[in-house]
Structure 1
Amino acid sequence: MKILLKTTVAAAVVLAFCQSTASADTLRVAADLSYPPFQYRDSQGKPAGFEIDVTDAICAAIQAQCQYVAGSFDSEIPALLAKKVDFISPQGATEKRRKSIDFSDFVYHIPTQLVARKGSGLLPDAAKLQGKHIGVQQGTIQEIYANQYWAPHGVDVVPYADQDTVYQDLTAGRLDGALSPAVAVTFGFLVKPEGKDFALAGAEVRDDKIFSTGSAYGLRKGDEALKQRLNQGLAKIMADGSWDKIKQRYFGDIDMKVHQPADIK
């Protein structure tokens, strides 16, 4: 009886340990920490921002530990394909990217707009931007759009490794404008002292083939198990109000949810 009891207890301990290990697994997340307020390093050097907080909430919901792997934006897909990370922080789920990777359900949507010095008269039109220097973050859908529609018409499209350097060159006068996600440039640049002389210029830039309906987590094709987990975690924080609280803290009442039929992903 004692031997049986000890065996039963030992088995229970092993089972509990296995369950604990399985529920507390570590997921490596590719992150570009030079993109406030979405991703950046706080005063202690730790990952912070809207996407970081949302991802942490999802990982908590699925009982996983997030481990952020910092790198440049254009290195994220290669890192994913090389299995250096398990998934990528939210980015536009474009047709081009879907050819090489898969995506989770949509996390949020933000429009793309031109930012320029106040009074410059610049608008997101190739004819009005001819001869101008327009900054973009390399590897982004903004770079793809500018190279396809503006560069052939004499616009100098200047790629940068990170968004902070784009802002620095705008302030220094080395750029006439930049094509960027509107929310990122508003809260990462325009609200700061160095951005006081700049503003969003013109309407949202749209292209159904280049721009996506929304931003989502990038995954390796065939990784259905992780995709399902992330979607379940996202659905949970959407339903319990956690996503809304995080969005409100960073962006106030701006509507950033993706509005579309439920069967379109």
Structure 2
Amino acid sequence: MKKTLCLGLALAVCVTSALAEDKPLRIGIEAAYPPFAFKTSDGSIGGFDYDIGNALCAQMQTKCVWVEQEFDGLIPSLKVRKIDAVISSMLITEERKRSVMFTDKYYASPARLVMKAGTSVDDDFNQLKGKRIGVQRGTSQDRYATDKLQPLGTEIVRYGSQSEIYLDMQSDRLDGTIANAAPLQEGFLKTPQGQGFAFVGPELRNKEYFGEGTGIAVSKGNTELAQRFNTAIKALRADGTYQQVEKKYFDYNIYGD
């Protein structure tokens, strides 16, 4: 009788485990951050984050369901288990590590300031006194600008998406923006919308604000899922899949050292 019971319990555990593995992963993403994530003409999602995420899911032999929302809602959704992971250009910072767990990086890029071409800005940013600088709400750049630029007399204007910032820069409602250098270059400066603008001032690599690269966020304590992603990232780097996706969007090494 005991053997039958134990066998039944073991079978139940195996079935439960199999069901857990078959359950789709819900991946949070903000689809308004080109070239990492954007909406295509048919309304679907495209971009580096999206393609890498799908490649990772294929490598892990796991079905993934993408859940769109604004960036500042991604970590709260992860914490209440509405999503299982975030693949949305999220910097690995000590502050965020208090709320979520991160994988290893899957790319790295410094933050930069973009203003009208020809604008002179020194490393101390004193020229930004009285200027209106747009940042995406809830980002590391938001925190940096609040801590470092606002005390200089800079007006920090927060937005729900980076695309809104670009529109206000074109309309002269903003003097500039601070964001990740890669999307600034690929999604703005290289486009007709970004004509007349340029990077100014220094590269921003302060680890306190800009962390150790960009990683995938999972629920705190979910070491198993983080490790599955880490193994998949290494596999994509080793078999050339990562580089194939990279070449679709960048003509340089986005992964870093």
Would the TM-score normalized by the shorter structure come out above 0.5? yes
Deviations 1:7-37 (A, max 9, x none): xxxxxxxxxx999966653110110001111
Correspondence for 1:187: 186
Q: What's the CA shift for 1:124?
A: 5.7
Q: Where does residue 6 of structure 1 map in the other structure?
A: none
Residue number in structure 2 paired with 1:66: 64
How far apart, CA to CA, are the structure 1 residues paired with 2:99 and 2:90? 14
| CA deviation map 1:48-86 (0-9, x unaligned) | 100100000000000111211110000000000010000
Which of 51, 56, 75 aligns to 1:77? It is 75
Distance across 1 between alignment mates of 2:16 and 2:155: 57
Question: Which position in structure 2 is the counterpart of 1:50?
Answer: 48
Amino acid of the residue matched to residue 197 of structure 2? Answer: F
1:155 aligns with: 154
User: What is residue 113 of structure 1 aligned with on the other side?
Assistant: 112
Deviating more after overlay: 118-127 vs 144-153: 118-127
Q: Using the alignment, how far apart are the partners of 2:30 and 2:21 within structure 1?
A: 27
**Which residue number corresponds to residue 234 of structure 2?**
235
Task: Decide whether the 8 Å contact of 2:119 with 2:200 is kept in 1.
Answer: no
Task: Name the % identity.
Answer: 35
In the alignment, residue 244 of structure 2 is paired with which amino acid?
K
Task: Indicate the residue corresponding to 1:11 in structure 2.
Answer: none
Listed as ranges, the gaps of 5+ residues in structure 2 are: 1-14
> How much is the aligned-residue C-alpha RMSD, in angstroms?
1.8
Offset, 1:143? 0.6
C-alpha contact 1:113 1:124 (8 A) present in aligned 2:
no
Secondary structure of 2:207's partner? coil
What TM-score does the superposition give when structure 1 sets the normalisation length?
0.87
Distance 2:42 2:22 in 1: 25
Counterpart Cα distance in 1 of 2:17 and 2:244: 31
Partner Cα separation in structure 1 for residue 21 and residue 256 of structure 2: 30
Looking at structure 2, the residues matched to 257 and 37 of structure 1 have their Cα atoms a distance apart, in angstroms, of: 15
Partners in 1 of 2:208 and 2:16 — Cα distance? 46
Change (3 A) 1:214 1:204: same
Unmatched 5+ stretches in structure 1: 1-16, 260-265
Residue 125 of structure 1 deviates from its aligned partner by 3.5
Structure 2: how far apart are the matches of 1:82 and 1:52? 23
The residue type paired with residue 155 of structure 1 is: T
Which one of the candidate residues 22, 30, 54 is aligned to 1:32?
30
Judge which range, 212-221 or 113-122, deviates more.
113-122
Aligned 8 A contact 1:106 1:258 in 2: no
What residue identity is the alignment partner of 2:39? R
- Cα deviation, 1:139-191, whole Å, max 9, x if unaligned, reads 11101111101101100011110000010011000010100111101111111
Task: Report what 1:96 is aligned to.
Answer: 95
Q: Which residue identity does 1:251 align to in structure 2? A: F
Within a 5 Å distance, the mapping from 1:194-233 to structure 2 comes to 194-233=193-232
Matched letter for residue 228 of structure 1:
Q
Whether the 8 Å contact between 2:93 and 2:207 is mirrored in structure 1 is no
- Taking structure 2 as the reference length, the TM-score comes to 0.89
Verify the 8 A CA contact 2:25 2:63 in the aligned structure 1.
yes
CA apart distance, 1:246? 0.7
Alignment size in residue pairs = 242
SS in 2 for 1:256: coil
Matched residue of 2:24: which SS?
strand
